[in-house]
Amino acid sequence: MCTLSWGFKALFVMISCRLMKVPPAEGKGEILPPTIQKIIKGYNKYLRPFFDNGPVSVGMSMDIASIDTISEINMDYTATIFLRQRWTDERLCFEGNKSLSLDGRLVEMLWVPDTFIVDSKKSFLHDITVENRLIRIYPNGTVLYAIRITTTVACNMDLTKYPMDKQTCTLQLESWGYNINDVMFYWTRGNDSVKGLDTIRLAQYTVEDHYTSVSEAVYETGHYPKLVFHFELKRNILYFILETYVPSSLLVVLSWVSFWISQSSVPARICIGVTTVLTMTTLMMGARTSLPNANCFIKAIDVYLGICFTFIFGALLEYAVAHFCTFNRSGVKKLTKEEDEEAEEEINGVLSAIANSCKADKISKADPDKLAKKTLGRKEEKTQHRRRRSPATMMKGLLSIFDCFHVKNPYHIDNYARISFPLLFIIINVFYWVYYLYF
């Protein structure tokens, strides 16, 4: 047993020594086929192609596989794209007329552009079942490198016309470390370099247009190549018409039902007014749940909901005004009765004054002093009488201020409201839709 164990130990030492004598390059060479060995031999992946002979040109093209979400709250969108980059590396030329499709894991042995997405918030490379990479080398040294990534990209949105808005989002590609003296980016087929948007169906949007552009990014460290893909999104308004606009308009119409209810039915009219106001408030709060909390602008839907709320609240105030005018009219009738009584008292006072004056003429001939005393007494009585009727006179003066707002028959207020409210609402709707749809 001891001899056998020593034999195994000796065999293990011999194998270990054999493996330690094999250089790393030879180890890889035994794995790679001869064509790849010839290409990789002496290749330095840390140096870009044409290191001393000008910049290397990198062509870009994309396929948009899907646009998963478009968030107005975070102002971004999430998309899955197939990004393809193509460049020529003279060090990878080989003889033959067929391209070599390599395993994506061999990309670590080659130089690749340091492309990144500028406004990306988070991105990841798909790795199920393996990392979704493709490397293809052509005989003239052209390299095709394709990856599948999902990225969340910021998109600045102008929501002033929400939900009748159009948004223009971009996908910007730049080189991280190589400036324009080292690398040049270009779209391989111009506007046709990006495909897939024509077949994408989104829940709330329709892709109206898309195009590409080439520019430069200027930073403190230099000028860097930049490719921009623009696409315009138009929001589908049908959902919001059914979800917000129609219910709010029906609430306004419901508030007008109170105009056909008798003014004496106070509970019924107050119930309709308060219910519609509270329902409209709930609808306004629900419409803001899918939007940013901190808004520095007023949206089109906020304007419409504000208009509807104003009409509903105005219908409630209309009943308050009509009820007040009815109550005021009954108070005026009471005041007119009091004025008639005061007029009768004044007439009686005038008649008594005439009678007293006749007696005074007779007495004046007899006693001038008594006449003077009676005259002073009558003046004091008139002064006291004026003081007694001054409150009624003051009330009459205050009511005269509101003569311009006086309605002879308060029940006509509902008749006016039945015509003015719907007519004004229709006119405002016409101006609203024309402005936000065509301006």
Question: How is residue 390 written in tokens?
Answer: 């001054």
Query: In the predicted model, what is the mean pLDDT of residues 334-350?
Result: 55
Q: Per-residue pLDDT for 6 more than 50? A: no
Q: Per-residue pLDDT for 113 more than 90? A: yes
Q: Per-residue pLDDT for 63 more than 60? A: yes
pLDDT bucket at 15, cuts 50 / 70 / 90: very low
Per-residue model confidence (pLDDT) at position 387: 52
Give CA angle at 169 (163, 174), nearest 5°. Answer: 165
Q: Per-residue pLDDT for 219 more than 70? A: yes
Burial of 433: CB neighbours in 10 Å, binned 0-12, 13-18, 19+: middle
pLDDT bucket at 3, cuts 50 / 70 / 90: very low
260-315 pLDDT per residue, tens: 998 888 899 999 999 999 999 999 998 877 777 655 678 999 999 999 999 999 99
**Cα–Cα distances in angstroms (integers) from residue 367 to residues 356, 360, 364, 371, in the given order:** 15, 10, 5, 7
How far is the C-alpha of 231 from the C-alpha of 320, rounded, in Å? 53
How far is the C-alpha of 235 from the C-alpha of 327, rounded, in Å? 52
> What pTM value is reported for the model?
0.73
Give the residue from 118, 42, 125, 121 showing the smallest Cα distance to 74: 121
Residue 84 contacts residue 193 (beta carbons within 8 Å) = no
Q: Which residues pair with 122 in a beta bridge?
A: 152
How far is the C-alpha of 185 from the C-alpha of 172, rounded, in Å? 12
> Which runs of consecutive H residues, i.e. helices, occur in 124-265?
238-240, 246-255
Per-residue model confidence (pLDDT) at position 7: 46
Give the residue from 147, 148, 167, 162 showing the smallest Cα distance to 230: 167
CA dihedral 255, 256, 257, 261 (to 10 degrees): 110
The overall average pLDDT reported for the chain is: 81
Per-residue model confidence (pLDDT) at position 401: 54
DSSP three-state, residue 99: coil
pLDDT bucket at 98, cuts 50 / 70 / 90: confident
Give the residue from 154, 157, 166, 155 showing the smallest Cα distance to 120: 154
Give the residue from 333, 388, 381, 323 showing the smallest Cα distance to 356: 381
Best-predicted range by mean pLDDT (40-49, 116-125, 196-205, 364-373):
116-125
